[in-house]
Amino acid sequence: MSAEPEQIKRQVKYGRVVSNKMQKTIVVAVDYLKPHPLYRKIIRKTNRFHAHDEENVCQIGDMVRIEETRPLSKTKRWRLLEVVQRAEEH
């Protein structure tokens, strides 16, 4: 039996920040394509995840990578890993 704990494989998702109005929390929209169960047309589905942003670095429109983690609050189950691409300034 090994003394080292096994590495936990956590889910990682890429998405777009749609809200940063809370303190240390962002809302990330993750889009994916799925065929309709009967008609097989490809439709776009969106899931929204609340993620922990410790330094409040994210702005609306940023592309980010989030990772699954232990429950941090009633709705937060994800944490920010990195900002992949900054939103364009207009």
pLDDT digits (tens, 9 = 90+) for 30-46: 999 999 999 999 999 99
* pTM, two decimal places: 0.85
Q: How many CA atoms lie within 13 A of 34 on its CB side?
A: 9
Q: What is the mean pLDDT of residues 65-85?
A: 96
Beta-bridged to residue 63, according to DSSP, are 16, 85
CA angle 50, 56, 61 (to 5 degrees): 65
Q: 90 falls in which pLDDT band (50, 70, 90)?
A: low
Lowest mean pLDDT among 5-9, 36-40, 84-88: 5-9
**What whole-number distance in Å separates Cα of residue 7 and Cα of residue 76?**
22
CATH number of 12-85: 2.40.50.140
Q: 5 falls in which pLDDT band (50, 70, 90)?
A: confident
Say whether pLDDT at 72 is over 80.
Answer: yes
Tokens of 50: 């609340």
Residue ranges of the domains in the chain? Answer: 12-85
Predicted pLDDT at 3: 66
Q: What is the mean pLDDT of residues 59-69?
A: 96
